[in-house]
C-alpha cells in the first residue's frame, strides 16, 4: 500500500492506451491499493488517491480508458477533452475521467494546476456511477469542496496507518466519494431545456447555431430560453457556444499540427478573420501566438 511519487509514464495495458507528456513537470503523491489486499467481496474500492502538482505543458491522453477518476482542481486550471467535447476546469471544480471512452487533459491557460485525486475500482463502479447520475458528467462545481478534500485526506491516512479493517474503510470511502459527487450533481443538474441546448451545442461544434434552433431543441420560446440559459450558465447561449469552440480550438492548436485555417473550418468558421477575432476575444491572443507560446513552453 505504498505512497509513490510519479514522474513520466506511458503504455498499453488491457486495451487501454495511455500517453503522458512532460512527466518531469508533473509531481503526484499517490496511495495505491495493492493487489495483495484485494477482497473480492468488496465491489467498490479506492484504486488510488492523493495530490498532484502540474507545471506547464503536462498532458495525459487515454484511449479506451479503464479508469473512473474524480480530480478536484484547488489552484490553476485543467483543459479536458472527453469524447470530443472540450471543458475548462478551474479552482473549486471537479473534472471526471470516465471509463470506456477517450479523454485527454492538460495544464490549462494558467500554466499550472494543483489537484486532489480519487480513482475508483471494483465491479460496481459503472453501476454506481450511473445510479448516482454521474455517467455523463465532465465538470462539476460543488458548493463546498471540503467534503471531497476530507475524503482524500481520510483515504491517505487510512492507507498510511492500515488500522484493523482498513480495507473495508477504504471501500466505505469509495462509496462516500460517489455519494458526495452524486448529491452535488443532483443539486446542480441543469433544467431539461438548458441541458437539451447544451447537448445540441456539443453535437454541433462543426457548424454554427442559431438561437431559434437552440430554443426549439429546448422546447421553449427564444426569450424564455435566453433568460433560463443565462440564469443557469452565467452567459448568453451563443456566447457559451463560442467559448466551447475556443476551448476545443486551443486543444487542437496545441495537440495537432493542423493549419489554423483547417481548425477554424472544423469548428464551422469559413472566415478565418472572423474566427481569429473570436479567439482573441476569448483567449487574449491570436491562434498563431497561442500555438507559438505553447510550443515554447513545450520545449522549455
CA 170 – CA 182 distance, rounded (Å): 18
Residue by residue, pLDDT tens for the chain (300 residues) are 334 333 334 444 445 678 888 878 888 888 887 777 777 777 888 889 999 999 999 999 998 888 899 999 999 999 999 888 888 898 889 999 998 889 999 999 889 999 999 999 888 888 888 888 888 889 988 888 889 999 999 998 998 888 998 888 988 999 999 999 998 887 767 788 998 898 788 778 888 899 999 999 999 999 999 999 988 888 899 998 988 888 778 877 876 788 999 889 888 899 999 999 999 988 889 999 988 887 654 443
**What are the pLDDT digits (tens) for 46-63?**
889 999 999 999 999 998
Which stretches of the chain are assigned E, i.e. beta strand? 3-6, 10-13, 16-21, 26-32, 45-54, 59-63, 68-82, 85-90, 93-97, 103-107, 113-121, 139-140
pLDDT value, residue 15: 53
Strands 139-140 and 93-97: antiparallel
Cell for 141? 462545481
- Domains, the chain, ordered by start: 3-188 (2.60.120.10), 192-299 (1.10.10.60)
Q: How many CB atoms lie within 10 A of CB 184?
A: 22
What Rg value do the Cα atoms of the chain yield, rounded? 20
Which residue, 77, 65, 83, is CA-closest to 205?
Answer: 83
pLDDT value, residue 13: 40
Which residues lie closer than 8 Å to 32 by C-beta, 6 or more apart?
Answer: 1, 2, 4, 47, 48
Which residue, 282, 271, 297, 208, is CA-closest to 249?
Answer: 282
Strand partners, 71: 95, 117
pLDDT value, residue 298: 42
pTM: 0.62
pLDDT value, residue 10: 43
pLDDT value, residue 22: 84
Amino acid at each position: 500500500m505504498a505512497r509513490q511519487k510519479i514522474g513520466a509514464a506511458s503504455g498499453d495495458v488491457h486495451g487501454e492506451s495511455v500517453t503522458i507528456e512532460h512527466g518531469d513537470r508533473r509531481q503526484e503523491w499517490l496511495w495505491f491499493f495493492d493487489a495483495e489486499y484485494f477482497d473480492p467481496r468488496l465491489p467498490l474500492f479506492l484504486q488510488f488517491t492523493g495530490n498532484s502538482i502540474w507545471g506547464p505543458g503536462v498532458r495525459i491522453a487515454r484511449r479506451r480508458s479503464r479508469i473512473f477518476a474524480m480530480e478536484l482542481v484547488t489552484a490553476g486550471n485543467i483543459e479536458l477533452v472527453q469524447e470530443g467535447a472540450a471543458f475548462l476546469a478551474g479552482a473549486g471544480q471537479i473534472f471526471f475521467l470516465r471509463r470506456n471512452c477517450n479523454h485527454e487533459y492538460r495544464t490549462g491557460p494558467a500554466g499550472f494546476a494543483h489537484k486532489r485525486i480519487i480513482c475508483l475500482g471494483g465491479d460496481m463502479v459503472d453501476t454506481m456511477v450511473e445510479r448516482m447520475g454521474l455517467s455523463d458528467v465532465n465538470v462539476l462545481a460543488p458548493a463546498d469542496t471540503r467534503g471531497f478534500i476530507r475524503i482524500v485526506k481520510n483515504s491517505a491516512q487510512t492507507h498510511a496507518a492500515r488500522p484493523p479493517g482498513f480495507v473495508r474503510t477504504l471501500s466505505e470511502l469509495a462509496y462516500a466519494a460517489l455519494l458526495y459527487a452524486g448529491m452535488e450533481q443532483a443539486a446542480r443538474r441543469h433544467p431539461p431545456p438548458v441541458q437539451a441546448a447544451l447537448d445540441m451545442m456539443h453535437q454541433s461544434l462543426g457548424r454554427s447555431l442559431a438561437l431559434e434552433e437552440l430554443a426549439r431543441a429546448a422546447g421553449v420560446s427564444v426569450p424564455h430560453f435566453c433568460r433560463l440559459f443565462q440564469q443557469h450558465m452565467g452567459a448568453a447561449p451563443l456566447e457559451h457556444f463560442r467559448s466551447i469552440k475556443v476551448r476545443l480550438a486551443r486543444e487542437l492548436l496545441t495537440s495537432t499540427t493542423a493549419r489554423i485555417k483547417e481548425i477554424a473550418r472544423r469548428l464551422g468558421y469559413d472566415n478565418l478573420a472572423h474566427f481569429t477575432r473570436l479567439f482573441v476575444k476569448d483567449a487574449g491572443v491570436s491562434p498563431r501566438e497561442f500555438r507559438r507560446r505553447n510550443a515554447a513552453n513545450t520545449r522549455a
